[in-house]
Amino acid sequence: MKKIALVDGSSYIYRAFYALPPLTAPDGRPTGAIYGFLRMILKLINDLNPEYIAVIFDKGKITFRTKQYEDYKATRKETPDELKQQIPEIKRLLKLFGIKVLEKEGFEADDIIATLAKKAKNKGFKVYVVTPDKDMMQLVSENIYLLNPVSNIIFDKEKVKEKYGVYPEQFIDYQALVGDTVDNIIGVKGVGPKTASKLLNQYGNIENILNHLDELSPKLQKAFQEAIDRLEKNRFLVKLDDNVPLDIEIENLKREKIDWESLIKEFEKLGFKSLLKEIGNKEQKYEKKEKSQRTLF
């Protein structure tokens, strides 16, 4: 079964930027996020070795969610200028590695990933969604896995159940109940992860919980009654759109030949000495493999 990795580029960038001390190129440009990002991508390729791969980014702040609810993600801080400067370079280097970069105006990276994951699964691929974002747990199903690059844990349906107490198909309701301060999604007062998973295991979904409010404690009854309208909004914000119109097919995401010459030049400009050494060794191995393959014909 062919493997495809769908990488949440935005989460990779932020992790790389904040995980490493500030680094600069010989010309003074900031390079910490670039270096950290490439390290993570190289580790992913070495560990997973997917035949197909794409890195997906958000594009712009206006999406179908913010058009309907202006307060969505309103509490998020602005991207630091030092990080903004490095994003175009990251995208250019990914293309030199033969990796497709995808983004679409009006949609979040998560929605593009959801769409590609469904398409790839339907074509018989084993899909790895690479992100630390727990919202994406809702995508996990047969042949769709979530690979958390921070913990290096691969989540299947049972692993999601073990971690959160609910199955992936209940995760939208779980997040709607619990809320998400990062995205400015306000959950039900007094309902944390344990209570949410307990209620969903007992009643299955939010609709059934609301239909059985009289069975809950007075405190929870009041909390749900106050949150009824908000829960519908929360589900809308949390649920991923897996029907984003894309002008690319899964077969187009196959890893292409690496442009070694251009990569070496870029790494020299950036001052990435350790990466220069590593890709030099990889290039030699790659060329030997190519030559040995050619002798067979």
Domain edges within the chain: 3-164+241-286, 168-238
Residue 284 banded pLDDT, cuts 50, 70, 90: low
Q: What is the pLDDT of residue 234?
A: 94
The answer to whether the CB of 159 falls within 8 A of the CB of 152 is: no
Q: Is the predicted pLDDT of residue 293 greater than 90, yes or no?
A: no
How far apart CA 81 and CA 90 sit, in angstroms, is 15
Question: Percent of the chain having pLDDT more than 70?
Answer: 93
Rounded to whole angstroms, the Cα distance separating 140 from 86 reads 31
CA nearest neighbour of 15 among 35, 33, 41, 39: 33
Mean pLDDT of 11-16: 89
Tokens of 286: 């790659």
Q: What's the whole-number mean pLDDT along residues 68-79? A: 74
Which band of pLDDT confidence, cut at 50, 70 and 90, is reported for residue 57? very high
Q: What is the pLDDT of residue 282?
A: 59
Nearest to 233 by CA among 14, 23, 65: 65
Rounded mean pLDDT of 140-152? 95
Mean pLDDT of 62-79: 76
CATH classification code of 3-164+241-286: 3.40.50.1010
Query: What's this model's pTM, rounded to 2 decimal places?
Result: 0.90
Secondary structure element (H or E) that encloses residue 128, with its range:
strand 126-130
pLDDT in tens, 104-114: 988 999 999 99
Q: What is the pLDDT of residues 214-262, one digit of tens each?
A: 999 999 999 999 999 899 999 999 999 999 999 999 999 999 999 999 9
**pLDDT level of residue 286 (50, 70, 90 thresholds):** very low
The hierarchical CATH code for the domain 168-238 is 1.10.150.20
